[in-house]
Structures are given as C-alpha cells and as structure tokens.
C-alpha cells in the first residue's frame, strides 16, 4: 500500500489584508490542490505534523513548535521578506525593531530549508549566516483562471462602477500605501499628466505603523483631481480592476517578487517599473523601466501615443505570463516537494532504527 504523502501549510497571512504574502500563499495552496493532489494530501494550519511542514509566516507559535516539528517532519520556510525590506515598510521603536529583525533571521535559521521568490536574496541570506545549500529559488505564480483578459462590454461596466471616464487613459498601481512603494513619485507623475486617470488600489495594511502613514494619509484625503484611491480591494475583484487599466505602474524602491506584476501580466497589461536590481534576475525583458518622475512620464506618454510601442509592451507582459505559467511553476514545486519528502522518509527510517536499537 502506498503511503500518503502529506504537506501542512502554516500561515497567518490572512490576518493582514491587502498584502502580497497572502496572495502568494493562496496561489500555492491552489496549485497544490489542483496539480499535486495525485501525490500529496494538503492540510491547512492543522495541529499535527506532516511529512513536510511548510511555513509561510513567522508567527511565534510556529517558531516555538519547530523543535518538535523537526523530529518528525522536514520544515521549509517561505522567505517573503528580510529585515532590510521591512525597514521601509513598518515603523517600530528602535529596540522593538532590533528584537524583531533578529527574530526573523532566527526563524529562518531554524528551518531545515528555505524558499526564496527572488534569487537576489540568496546571497543576502548567506550573509546572515544561513547555508547556501539550504536555500532554493522558486518564483511566484498567478493562476490564469483567476487573472485574465475580459471582454470590452464588461470593461465598460467596471469603469462605470468605479466612476472612470470611458475614454480616459488609465494608469493603475496596486500595493500597500507605504513610502517604499513609490507613492510620492506616483502622485508627482499624476500631477504632470492631468488628462490621464491614475488609480491606486491598496491601503494601510499595517495601519498606523505603515511607513509614512501621516504624510500619505493627507495625500489620500486630498488627492489631485485625476487620482483615485480605492482602498483595499478584495482579491476576487482585482481581475476586473487590472482590465480597466491601460498600464500597470509600480514605482517601488524595494520588492521581492510582486504578485501584482504577475497578475497584470496575465491580463496582458504593459508593466512600468522602477529600474531596480531586484527585478533584473526575474523580470528583465518583461517590463518598461524608469528611474524618476520625468522618465515615468515619458514612458506613459509614449505608451499612450505610440500604438506600436504599446503593443510591444503588451507582448513583453504576455511573455512574462507564459514564463511564470502554472505549468512551469508546478514542475518546480513537484520536484522540490518530492526531494523534501524523500528526506523526511530518511529521517523516519533513522528514527525507526534508533528505536529498534534502544529496544534491544
């Protein structure tokens, strides 16, 4: 009789709405259920140890249970952030920040293995004292069943719902309201393009500890006439929002692998990003680049006025969606989970032999 292979996904990402960690978690759960159920039985936040314990968030309860989990299971942690990426996301008192940052790294160090969504962070983790052989890169992915192009008549209705002029060129940003997300440049670009409609979907996911909270709050309260702040939109409504946009514009200074980029790519929308090193290993050739307000304005203007340039950018985004397809990423996860399962079986065999030895 074939033994059932088990994975226990552990995550508290649902406690903070409107963040990429939750989206990445939901997509992986869906991928395993839809594509790997022939091999693996998936459990969600069960209070029991599986062959593979996959941790998506760094909750203290998970950390305290790790010594017991590692006896019977192989533990793997998803690296969605590092201390330096948190630096410009949330504001904490100096002492609390120091303690929390150390805790995050200790959490990662306690894992048997780690997954990063951007190869750029492998060297960063090694610098923190984590062995390179423990770290594997598997990119994020987005289901094309969830994010895809919709028909023009539906786009018309969605624009009407959000009060968007049917003839306006629409620039969309999706992300938390934080300084690191480039919101100040987003606003300056909008001011220089008053005849273009700018939309921001996202809110203060971490509330008052969000970096730049007071400054951004004032902007949201009194935005330029051509800017709409929609707040946190339920993920099931986001496909419609991507489809009413002409461009996905993310001016972030720091990211790992934004789910919003893959979501908009699936909807075949040109992607305009700040030209930062983090994207080079994972997105080069799939997006348009800018470094400042002037360059962003120039890119949006060209997309709006040059149909050939626009279609080329659509093709780049479509290629991105194909590369990070469900089929390709499923192969990576199947291979990785199979490796972890075989390690868990070796661990079980050693426990059995030790037990037999002690009983002699």
Task: Please state the pTM of the whole predicted model.
Answer: 0.85
Q: Are 120 and 281 in contact (CB under 8 A)?
A: yes
Q: Which of 134-148, 156-170, 299-313, 337-351 has the lowest mean pLDDT?
A: 337-351
Which pLDDT value is given to residue 13? 83
| Domains recognised in the chain with CATH numbers | 5-141+325-359 (3.40.50.2000), 152-323 (3.40.50.2000)
> Does the pLDDT at position 2 exceed 60?
no
> Does the pLDDT at position 352 exceed 70?
no
Which pLDDT value is given to residue 355? 61
Q: Write down the mean pLDDT value for the chain.
A: 91
pLDDT-derived band at 83, boundaries 50, 70, 90: confident
Which pLDDT value is given to residue 358? 67
Sheet with 40-44, edge to edge strand ranges: 40-44, 5-10, 52-55, 74-79, 113-116, 135-137
Rounded to 10°, the helix 60-72/94-110 angle is 10
Which pLDDT value is given to residue 359? 57
pLDDT-derived band at 357, boundaries 50, 70, 90: low
Give me the mean pLDDT over the 18-39 stretch.
Answer: 88
In the chain the first and final C-alpha atoms are separated, in Å, by 28
pLDDT by residue (tens digit) across 51-60?
Answer: 999 999 999 9
Give me the mean pLDDT over the 14-38 stretch.
Answer: 85
What percent of the chain has a predicted confidence (pLDDT) above 70?
93
Fill in the DSSP letter of residue 2: P
Which pLDDT value is given to residue 114? 98
pLDDT by residue (tens digit) across 276-287?
Answer: 988 988 999 999
Tokens representing residue 197 in the block: 């409609």
pLDDT by residue (tens digit) across 182-228?
Answer: 999 999 999 999 999 999 999 876 677 677 788 899 999 999 999 99
d(CA 133, CA 283): 24
d(CA 185, CA 25): 30
Residue 155's Cβ-count burial label (10 Å; 0-12, 13-18, 19+) is middle
pLDDT-derived band at 360, boundaries 50, 70, 90: low
Length of the chain: 360
Which phi-psi region, left, alpha or beta, contains residue 54 (left: φ > 0; alpha: ψ -120 to 50)?
beta
Which pLDDT value is given to residue 354? 64
pLDDT-derived band at 19, boundaries 50, 70, 90: low
User: Other C-beta atoms within 10 Å of 330: how many?
Assistant: 16
What percent of the chain has a predicted confidence (pLDDT) above 90?
72
d(CA 119, CA 121): 5
> Does the pLDDT at position 1 exceed 60?
no
Range list of β-strands (E), 223-299: 227-231, 247-250, 271-274, 288-290
Which of 213, 192, 292 is closest to 251 using CA atoms?
Answer: 292
pLDDT-derived band at 256, boundaries 50, 70, 90: confident
Angle at 324 between CA 121 and CA 104, to 5 degrees: 25
């Amino acid at each position: 009789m074939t033994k059932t292979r088990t994975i226990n996904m552990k995550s508290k990402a649902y406690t903070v709405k409107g963040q990429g960690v939750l989206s990445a978690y939901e997509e992986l759960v869906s991928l395993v259920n839809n594509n790997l159920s022939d091999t693996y039985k998936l459990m969600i936040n069960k209070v029991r140890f599986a062959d593979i314990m996959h941790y998506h968030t760094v909750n203290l309860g998970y950390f305290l249970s790790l010594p017991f989990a590692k006896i019977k299971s192989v533990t793997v942690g998803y690296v969605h952030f590092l201390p330096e990426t948190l630096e410009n996301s949330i504001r904490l008192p100096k002492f609390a920040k120091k303690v929390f940052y150390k805790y995050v790294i200790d959490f990662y160090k306690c894992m048997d293995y780690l997954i990063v969504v951007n190869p750029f962070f492998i060297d960063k983790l090694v610098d923190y004292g984590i062995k390179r052989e423990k770290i594997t890169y598997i990119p994020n992915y987005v289901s094309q069943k969830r994010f895809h192009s919709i028909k023009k008549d539906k786009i018309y209705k969605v624009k009407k719902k959000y009060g968007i002029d049917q003839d306006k060129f629409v620039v969309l940003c999706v992300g938390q309201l934080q300084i690191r997300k480039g919101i100040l440049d987003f606003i300056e670009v909008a001011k220089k393009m008053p005849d273009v409609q700018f939309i921001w979907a996202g809110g203060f996911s971490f509330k008052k500890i969000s970096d730049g909270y007071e400054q951004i709050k004032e902007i949201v309260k009194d935005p330029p006439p051509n800017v709409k702040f929609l707040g946190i939109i339920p993920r099931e409504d986001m496909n419609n929002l991507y489809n009413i946009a002409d461009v996905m514009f993310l001016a972030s200074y720091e990211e790992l692998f934004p789910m919003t980029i893959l979501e908009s790519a699936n909807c075949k929308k040109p992607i305009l990003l700040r030209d930062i090193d983090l994207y080079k290993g994972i997105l080069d050739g799939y997006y348009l680049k800018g470094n400042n307000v002037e360059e962003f304005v120039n890119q949006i203007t060209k997309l709006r006025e040059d149909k050939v340039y626009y279609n080329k950018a659509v093709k780049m985004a479509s290629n991105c969606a194909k590369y990070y397809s469900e089929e390709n990423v499923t192969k990576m996860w199947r291979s990785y989970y199979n490796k972890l399962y075989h390690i868990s079986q070796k661990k079980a065999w050693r426990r059995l032999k030790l037990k037999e030895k002690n009983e002699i």
